[in-house]
Structure 1
Amino acid sequence: MNSQALPSRGSTLELFGEIESELQQVEEAIEASLATQDGLVGEVSTYLLRAGGKRIRPALLLLASRFPGRRLGDLIPVAVAVELIHMATLVHDDVVDDSQLRRGRPTVNVRWSNPVSVLTGDYLFARAFSLLAQTGDNRVVRIMADVVFEMSRGELMQIATAFDTGQTEADYFERIARKTGYLIAESCRLGALVAGASPEQVQALYEYGLAVGISFQIADDLLDFTGAAERVGKPVGGDLKQGILTLPVLHALAHSGRAAELHRVIAARSIDDEALARVRTILEEAGSLQYARSRAEEYLARAYAQLEKVPELASRHTLKRIAEFVVNRQF
């Protein structure tokens, strides 16, 4: 699988070069928004900030806004809010998934406790929506409220379908659109919207972001089978062990000559490292890993096509390179 991967071009720092100073303003604004004299809240917030993150969503928002006449001051608070919402979902996800590591560091629920994690996520959500409300633009509040609603639905779908071998690919794509795709899509929409782009331009950038988000999630799901824990920053194979059936598994269930064996492994609901190795072999033999990669690249092509609809956007070339980066860096 790795031998067929396209090379990643550059790094996030290089790709974000044209908005480096703007991202620095976003970073400073994130720190300012979380600054507090409250002991525990400040301690956890500092811990999350030091964990870093590539700030892909605020970067996409800023890049999608690069139309003539945009006002950066209108965009920074929205970019900060998008990142805080992303951080909140990660903190909550780690509780739901009982995750031990995030970006190579102990999760908040491990470092402190589940109650602290839940309340920290709530705090981040509240802070984000406070910033959105301060813009005076009800459109951005409504859009992000809808995103949180859909992400919650995606998480509930994932819980409800744990270890369910009756899922379809359509179910999978609906779930990952809600869990991952919509936040990236709406980050791009918000950038164009706040910048005053036309409805057609706004829609094209939304569709670009949705395609990138879906492609990214497929790639991330592949990495759960093909990556190394040191590189991923969390244990590999964790999705299947939790009963989360991703695209490679669903493909093998439908097409592998060893589908019955795979079904039994999943139905046992207790997947150890030995069983995980068997599953990996089944996926390789069925071509399921390559199939999933081809679907990721299909969505990547859709993202590229949307960018052709916004010739006025100064950052089209960068957005194309970022789309390739966020997908291919995963393999």
Structure 2
Amino acid sequence: MSAGSSSTTRAGRVLGGTVVASAASLPTSDAELEASLREGLAVVEARLREAVGNTDPLADATSRHLVLAGGKRVRPMLTLLGGHFGDPTRPEVTAAAVVVELTHLASLYHDDVMDSAPTRRGAVAAHQKWGNNVAILTGDLLFARASNVVADLGPQAVKIQAATFERLCLGQMRETVGPGLEEDAVAHYLGVLSDKTASLIATAGRFGAMFSGADAHVVDAMVRYGEDVGVAFQLADDVLDLTSDVDDSGKRPGTDLREGVPTLPVLYARRAARAGDPAAAAVVALLDSGRLEDDAVLAEAVQRLREHPATADARTTAREWAERATTHLDGLPAGPARDALATYAGTVADRVG
């Protein structure tokens, strides 16, 4: 998407190259909190664009590619929300929000290469446009930019960022290798999601509370909330790959199936097939047929899996993780920020409704 586009994205509207979050994308009806989040996200957006700028024309184009494509900006939003348990105006809160989004963007360049994804956020994936090597190096470049920003936040922040980056890498590695012969595939997958997705979401909330000067128990609650809501978020995406249409999700139904991603409905279906369920066995046979490039075969696989109890079970599991996330909010100070976190977890659960 070009900087001057006036198209609507899932994160909001793009006006003059700046993403403006829509009211529906903010999990609060409190006018003061909403205004603060909008202002904070606008600053984050401007700093993101500044952080990815480069004097080299190619590096500048590739680094800006996903920033300009938009996005939900969930991680910086959670950082800003965490900041409202202390002083949200501290500049470190905004800087931390930039760090987590830069880290997320960097990981997307790598993910798309590994998954051979053709598009990202409605735009052609970077590796499709510039090749795998340039896409991987762009991800590395953005990780370096995130490190540069986090260095100004002090040694504790650097250590947290390093530990989070380690979990991102380990999660991707475990996903690539797959479960061991004696390892439960579902438990393995949930562990992958905990590292690959939830770790950065937890760090986002942690940074916000920590740099706002919030109490230690608040910081701990934000970490535990982020770990659980992060898993719930990805599990909801698993279900949406089967149940939504392209206008709602921005992704064609069955994309994960075609790419061979072991989502939770698939894992539940495989477990049911091993237990002797003939309907699950029929689904698994389609998934393993090697014919999912055929649109008709893919559509049949999506329909059968959508109608199988495996998808309903995955939906229930996603809701359970979202509900568990809200239990960590009990010890937080009452107010709009805590309400917004509860609303966001509920929104994640509603996505699978």
TM-score (norm 1): 0.88
Q: Deviations over 1:266-305 (max 9, x none)?
A: 4445533344334334434431222111111111111221
- 1:27 is aligned to 45
Q: Which moved more, 1:173-182 or 1:27-36?
A: 27-36
Equivalent residue, structure 2, for 1:106? 124
Question: How many residue pairs were aligned?
Answer: 321
| Contact 1:61 1:190 survives alignment (8 Å) | yes
Question: Cα gap change, 1:260/1:180 in structure 2, threshold over 3 Å: closer, same or farther?
Answer: same
What whole-Å deviation, never above 9, does each CA across 1:78-99 have from its counterpart, x for those lacking one? 1111100000011111111111
User: What are the Cα deviations for residues 26-55 of structure 1, in whole angstroms up to 9, with x where unaligned?
Assistant: 111112212222211112233322201121
User: For residues 352 and 69 of structure 2, what CA distance do their matches in structure 1 show?
Assistant: 19
Q: Give the % identical residues.
A: 34
2:24 aligned with 1:11, yes or no? yes
Select 1:260's aligned residue among 281, 296, 306: 281
Give the aligned partner of residue 3 of structure 1: none
Taking a change above 3 Å as real, the CA distance of residues 312 and 259 of structure 1, as seen in their structure-2 partners, is closer
Aligned equivalent of 2:318, options 263, 274, 296: 296
Other-structure match for 1:209: 226
Residues 165, 248 of structure 1: CA spacing in aligned structure 2 closer, same or farther, 3 A cutoff?
Answer: farther
Q: Counterpart of 1:147?
A: 164
Q: Is the 8 A contact 1:57 1:83 kept in 2?
A: yes
User: Which moved further from structure 2: 212-221 or 40-49?
Assistant: 40-49
Counterpart of 1:221 (choices 238, 248, 252) is 238
Unaligned runs of 5+ in 1: 1-8
The within-5 A match list for 1:1-331 is 11-13=24-26, 15=28, 16-69=34-87, 71-135=89-153, 137-161=154-178, 167-255=184-272, 256-272=277-293, 273-311=295-333, 314-329=336-351
Contact 1:161–1:167 (CA<8 Å) still a contact in 2?
Answer: no
After superposition, give the CA deviation of every residue in 1:146-203 in whole Å (9 maximum; x if it has no partner): 11111111112222229x9985221111111111111111111111122222222211
Normalising by structure 2, we get a TM-score of 0.83
Q: Return the structure number with greater relative CO, CA threshold 8 A, min gap 6.
A: 1
Residue 330 (structure 1) shift: 6.2
Distance 2:193 2:290 in 1: 22
Are the counterparts in 1 of residues 80 and 88 from structure 2 also a CA contact under 8 Å? no
Q: 1:13: how far off?
A: 4.7
Q: Distance in 2 between matches of 1:222 and 1:165?
A: 26
The change in CA–CA distance for 1:69 and 1:292 in structure 2 (over 3 A counts) is same
- Judged with a 3 Å threshold, the aligned counterparts in structure 2 of structure 1 residues 94 and 10 are, in CA distance, closer, same or farther, namely same
**How far apart in 2 are the matches of 1:98 and 1:253?**
24
Unaligned runs of 5+ in 2: 1-21, 29-33
8 Å CA contact 1:67, 1:313 repeated in 2: no
